[in-house]
Structure 1
C-alpha cells in the first residue's frame, strides 16, 4: 500500500472510495475520490480497492454527475435562445447583443477537483479563475484575490467532515475539520462585498456546518443534513448563478436539483443571478 493508492475503509463497509494522500505513522490521510471528504484511518483498516469494488462508483456517481452537467448545459443553451436578438427584431438596423455571464473565483482545497472544475467551467463557457489553496489559508488568500479578480461569484470549497469523536455535537463549529476555515473565508468575502446580490458566495464541502456558513454570509452552502456532497456540486451552483439574469432570482429548488446530493447536501437563500446582455456586439468581441 502506497501514497496515491485507491482504498476503502473496511470498518465502514467500503462506503466511500479514497485516495491515500500521505502516511503518518500507523495512520493514513485520505481524500475522497468523488466526495469532498478528508479523513484519516489506521492503515490496518484500509484495503486497496479492486476493480470489482470500483464498479459501483463509476456506475452511480459519474453518470449521475454527467447527467447534471447535461441538464446544466441545456439550461444555459435555453438562456441563450430566450435572450431576444435586437438585430433580428430590427432587421439588422441595430447590432446584435453580446453576453456577460458572471465571473467565478474558485478556491479549492483539492488540486485534482480544482483541475476538473476549471475544465468544466471552460466547457460551460463560464469565465472562471481557480486557485488551489489549503483550507486553512483561504481567508488570507481572499484578501489578496478578491480585489485582483473582482468576481461576481466566489466558490470556497475543499474537504471537510465531522470529527469522529464529536458526532454527537454537530452544532459546535469545532466539531468539524474545516468548517471554521470556510466560515472565516466567507467572512472575508462579506467584508469585501456586503451585498449578497452583488457577490454570490458558495461555500462548504462534505458535512460542513450549513447554518454557520449561511450566518457568516454565504448565499449557498453545504450541508443541511451533514451528508457527503459530490466534488462538482459547488460548480453546478456557481454555473447556474453565472447564467441566471441579473433581473431574476435564482430558483433555489432548480439550482439544487442540478447537484448530486440535493437538498440534503446543499441549500441557500434567494439570490440574484449574474448574467447580463449588452449592445452592440463588436466585431472584435470574442
Structure 2
C-alpha cells in the first residue's frame, strides 16, 4: 500500500485517476481505513478506501493541472472579451451615442461569498480581484451556514450571495431525488431558505448555491437564482465566480439570459442552471478624480 497521509495529493485507481484530490482525513469505517478526499479543482468531497488510492507525483500533477489551467485561461479570455463589448455598449448609451464627452463610473454591487473550503475561497477571491470586483469572503463549514447566514446578511448587506463548498451524491444512500443522499445539499438548501426569510425578492438578493453534484431542484425551489448541479456532475472550483461576474456587470434594468451566464463557466449547463435574473450594475456620471 502506498504511503498515503493527510495532505497527500492522490488519484482514485477505480476512476483511472481522472481527478486530483487532497486527503483531508483518514478514518476507520467498518473496520477498513478510509480517506476523506477534497477535489483539487472540482468542488467534490468523497470517501475512498486506502487501497484505491495512489499518490500523484509532481510530474503527473503538473500535467493534469496544466489542462485545467488552460481551460481556466480560455474561460477568462472569453469573459474579458464579453465584458469589454458590454462596457463599450454601456458607454455608448450613457453618453448618448458619444455625443457628450462624459466619463462614466460604475457600481457593480456588493458580493458576499460563503465557502466551505478556505483554499477554494482564496482562489475565488483572487479571480474576483482579477476581474475587478470587491467581494467579502467568509469561510464557514457547510453544516454551520444555516445558523450564520442571517447575521452575515445583516453585517454585509450584499446584492449577490454565493453559498458553496463541497458536496457529493452517494448512490448507496438513496435515489438522486432524495436530498438525504447528498453530503451537504440539505445545508445549502437550509441556508438559501434562511436567506430568503431576510430578503424574499429574487432581484433584491441574487443567490448562487451548491457544489459538485448538489441537489439542483431543491436549491432552486428554496429560492436560489442559480444552482448546481442539474445533471449531478462535478462543477469547477471557479464556476461561481463567472456567474457572479456576469450578474455584476449586467445593468440592473436588464435581464441576465441564463445561457449567457453559463457559457463562460467551465462546467456549462450540465453542472449549473438557473432562472432569469436582473443584473445589479449601476452606471453614473460624470466621473471626476478628486485632486489632492
Instruction: Check if 1:35 corresponds to 2:42.
Output: yes
Q: Within the alignment, does 1:227 sit opposite 2:230 as a pair?
A: no
Query: Partners in 2 of 1:213 and 1:60 — Cα distance?
Result: 31
- Tell me which residue corresponds to 2:11: 8
Contact 1:176 1:209 in 2 (8 A): yes
C-alpha displacement of 1:243:
0.5
1:57 to 59, 64, 67: 64
- Count of matched residue positions in the alignment of Structure 1 and Structure 2: 281
Partner Cα distance (1:201, 1:113) in 2: 18
Deviation at 1:55, TM superposition (A): 5.0
TM-score, with length taken from structure 1: 0.93
Task: Give the Cα–Cα distance (whole angstroms) in 1 for the partners of residues 15 and 9 of structure 2.
Answer: 15
Quick check: 1:251 aligned with 2:257?
A: yes
1:17 aligns with 2:20: yes
Alignment of 1:156-175 (within 5 A): 156-166=163-173, 169-175=175-181
Alpha-carbon distance in 2 for matches of 1:230, 1:283: 39
**Equivalent position of 1:82 in the other structure:** 89
Could you say which residue in structure 1 is the equivalent of 2:224? Answer: 218
**Runs of 5+ unmatched residues, structure 2:** none
After superposition, give the CA deviation of every residue in 1:260-283 in whole Å (9 maximum; x if it has no partner): 111110000000011111133242
Structure 1: which 5+ residue stretches go unaligned?
Answer: none
Measure the CA separation in 1 of the matches of 2:83 and 2:74.
14
The CA deviation string for residues 90-143 of structure 1, in whole angstroms up to 9 with x for no partner, is: 34xxx5321001221000111111001001111111121001110011122211
Task: Report the TM-score when normalising by structure 2.
Answer: 0.91
Structure 2: how far apart are the matches of 1:89 and 1:150? 37
CA distance in 1, matches of 2:23, 2:240: 23
Tell me if structure 2 keeps the 8 A contact 1:207–1:227.
yes
Contact 1:207 1:226 in 2 (8 A): yes
* Alignment match, 2:106: 99
Deviations 1:135-187 (A, max 9, x none): 01112221111111111111100000012413x50101101000000001111
Shift of 1:53: 3.6
Aligned match of 1:139: 146
Q: Secondary structure at the match of 1:54?
A: helix
CA distance in structure 2 between the partners assigned to 1:90 and 1:67 by the alignment: 36
Measure, in 2, the Cα distance between the counterparts of 1:145 and 1:122: 21
Q: CA RMSD in A?
A: 1.8
Tell me the alpha carbon deviations over residues 54-89 of structure 1, each in whole angstroms, 9 at most, x when there is no partner: 355224322112211122222222222222354963
C-alpha distance in 1, partners of 2:115/2:208?
Answer: 12
- CA distance in structure 2 between the partners assigned to 1:236 and 1:18 by the alignment: 23
